[in-house]
Amino acid sequence: MTNSATTSLITGITGQDGSYLTERLLSQGHTVHGIVRRSSTTARGRIDHLYHDKNIYNQRLFLHYADLNDSTTIRRILVKTQPDHMYHLAGQSHVGTSFEIPETTSQFTAMGTLKILEILRDLEKQPRFLHISSSEIFGRPDQSPQDESTAMRPVTPYGVAKTFATQMVQLYRESFGLFACNAICYNHESPRRGESFVTRKIARAVAAIHAGHSDKLRLGTIDSRRDWGYAPEYVDAMHRMLCQDQPDDFIIATGRQHSVEDFLAFAFDSVGLNWKDHVEHDAKYVRPSEVSNLVGNPAKAEKQLGWTAQTQLPELAALMVKREIERIT
């Protein structure tokens, strides 16, 4: 299955990972079907270049409109497209927002995943299924770095919803024999990251300050530590997981940990500025509960998938800032 052309179905195709994954699959000769939320048709920006390419759109890339909670339509799309692989990337992915809208987060992230698993269970031709899980499932872990056997102890509504989805994937794999896998991804960033995530927010602010459009950046907790990788590399790991002989879960991470403060220093340094001159604390961005110390052990992915993260954080911060400067000039 590794080398032959496959048909993939992607939920969340308009997101950061969905757009990189689509580009990657298309460049390797695969066919891609994407599910787009009806209400988000205007948010197609990350795949617009593919949508407007007549050699690609409706040739090897197809879009279908459905809400994740609309089981009937999702089932119909699965029956119609008969995918070999299904990548489930959609969900409410912002941890901070999950405190504001815990019900919606659970509906999409937890129940949305279960609904897909239920549909797959009944299908005659079952695609290989990948759920994009998150390091948030570990919450405040008793082990560092975390690996595939670390206990899940979520501390945010998003983490709780992702834990439910991750465990359901494991349950359906073990109980119903589905080829279903969890990619337990640590934070992964890029110029396509949503604007409310801290790395993109910082990159945009540095570009604005560098251009003289602004002078201050307001942030919440900056001593939080994360394992930050580069998103285009993570979608490569996702594809490799579905090309394995057996379904399994993998930690996808760099294995290195940095603080928000480190990212600030790398981003401001890349244009010769000192972050301390521009950053102000704003309690509005402090969360009611927070994971503070996550770092993944990617040894299993390295050994079995032949995958390692390449881009280091200083380089990632600099490339994100550079892209934002290009956007405003």
Determine which residue in the list 63, 198, 203, 301 makes contact with ligand GDP, applying CB under 6 A. Answer: 198
Q: Would you say 64 or 278 has its CB closer to ligand GDP?
A: 278
Of 160, 66, 80, 171, the C-alpha closest to 118 is 171
Q: What is the separation of C-alpha 298 from the centre of its chain, rounded to a whole number of angstroms?
A: 16
CA–CA distance, 35 with 70 (Å, rounded to integer): 12
Q: Would you say 81 or 187 has its CB closer to ligand GDP?
A: 187
C-alpha torsion 86→237→146→133, nearest 10: -20
Minimum Å distance from CB 150 to ligand GDP? 17
Q: Would you say 81 or 106 has its CB closer to ligand GDP?
A: 106
Determine which residue in the list 120, 219, 238, 325 makes contact with ligand GDP, applying CB under 6 A. Answer: 219
CA–CA distance, 44 with 30 (Å, rounded to integer): 21
Instruction: Give the three-state DSSP class for 241.
Output: helix
Determine which residue in the list 51, 99, 285, 318 makes contact with ligand GDP, applying CB under 6 A. Answer: 285
Cα–Cα distance list, 206 to 6, 138, 192, 198, 274 (Å): 41, 31, 16, 12, 10
Minimum Å distance from CB 170 to ligand GDP? 22
Q: Would you say 59 or 196 has its CB closer to ligand GDP?
A: 196
Which residues are bridge partners to 33 per DSSP?
9, 62
With CB under 6 A as the rule, give the number of residues binding ligand GDP.
Answer: 18
Minimum Å distance from CB 285 to ligand GDP? 4
Range in contact with ligand GDP (rule: CB under 6 A) among 103-111, 195-203, 244-252, 302-310: 195-203
Q: Would you say 16 or 199 has its CB closer to ligand GDP?
A: 199
Of 80, 67, 159, 175, the C-alpha closest to 123 is 80
Q: Detail the DSSP E strand segments found in the chain.
A: 7-11, 31-36, 61-65, 85-88, 128-134, 180-185, 188-189, 217-219, 225-226, 229-230, 250-252, 258-259, 279-281
314 binds ligand GDP (CB under 6 A): no
φ/ψ (deg, to 5) at 107? -60, -50
Instruction: Give the three-state DSSP class for 218.
Output: strand
Minimum Å distance from CB 186 to ligand GDP? 9
Determine which residue in the list 101, 290, 304, 322 makes contact with ligand GDP, applying CB under 6 A. Answer: 290
CA–CA distance, 98 with 95 (Å, rounded to integer): 5
Tokens linked to 97:
């927002």
Determine which residue in the list 41, 144, 196, 308 makes contact with ligand GDP, applying CB under 6 A. Answer: 196
287 binds ligand GDP (CB under 6 A): yes
Per-residue interface string for the shown chain with ligand GDP, residues 244-283, x marking contact by CB under 6 A: ----------------x-----------------------
Q: Which positions ≥6 away from 222 have C-beta within 8 Å?
A: 259, 260, 261, 264, 279, 281
Determine which residue in the list 96, 101, 300, 318 makes contact with ligand GDP, applying CB under 6 A. Answer: 96
220 binds ligand GDP (CB under 6 A): yes
Range in contact with ligand GDP (rule: CB under 6 A) among 13-21, 246-254, 284-292, 297-305: 284-292
| Residues contributing to the site for ligand GDP (CB under 6 A) | 95-96, 187, 196-199, 201, 219-222, 224, 226, 260, 285, 287, 290
